[in-house]
Amino acid sequence: MNEKEIETLKDRVIAVLKTIYDPEIPIDIWTLHLIYGVDVDKEGNVKIVMTVTAPNCPVAETLPAEVQIKVQAVIGVKSVDVELTFDPVWSIDMLSDETKADLGLDGDYGAFSASDFLY
């Protein structure tokens, strides 16, 4: 694969990631910034580094498996390696202001932070 084909494949992988939702938050995992990295090599091997919203998240085991299955189905993908990490730990601060507003997490919470309302 040349560089243009690699970029096209990466774009298709990202498009698929945008269809996968955290089941407790009505936002896709790409917009939630749960994906820390997507790398595609010239053979079509894909490496995804991702996290979940909390280490005790109920989908910590199933969400990476869903990512692996759906990305593996993308035409041109030879293999998929999904790495789950908690470094850095995900935080509400990673969200765009627009996404925070969509979730209703852009207000004044007094002594609480927005992340106190997620888990």
Give the residue-averaged pLDDT of 26-35.
Answer: 93
Q: Give the structural domain span for 47.
A: 3-91
| Token pair of 35 as six digits | 């994906």
Residues 45-88: pLDDT tens digits?
999 999 998 888 888 889 999 999 999 999 999 999 999 999 99
Do the Cβ atoms of 25 and 92 come closer than 8 Å?
A: no
A 10 A CB-CB count for 115 gives 15
Domain annotation covers residue 110:
no
Predicted confidence at residue 13, as pLDDT, reads 98
Predicted confidence at residue 99, as pLDDT, reads 84
Average pLDDT, the chain: 88
What is the pTM (predicted TM-score) of this model? 0.85
Domain annotation covers residue 100:
no
Buried b (16+ CB within 10 A) or exposed e, 64-101: beebbeebeeeeebeebebebeeeeebebeebeeebee
Pairing of strands 35-40, 45-50: antiparallel
Residue 110 has pLDDT above 60, yes or no: no
Predicted confidence at residue 56, as pLDDT, reads 85
Residue 11 has pLDDT above 70, yes or no: yes
Domain annotation covers residue 104:
no
Number of domains in the chain: 1
Predicted confidence at residue 57, as pLDDT, reads 83
Looking up residue 80, the CATH number of its domain turns out to be 3.30.300.130
Contacts 24+ apart (CB under 8 A), 92-100: 92/118, 94/32, 94/33, 95/31, 95/32, 95/33, 96/31, 99/27, 99/31, 99/32
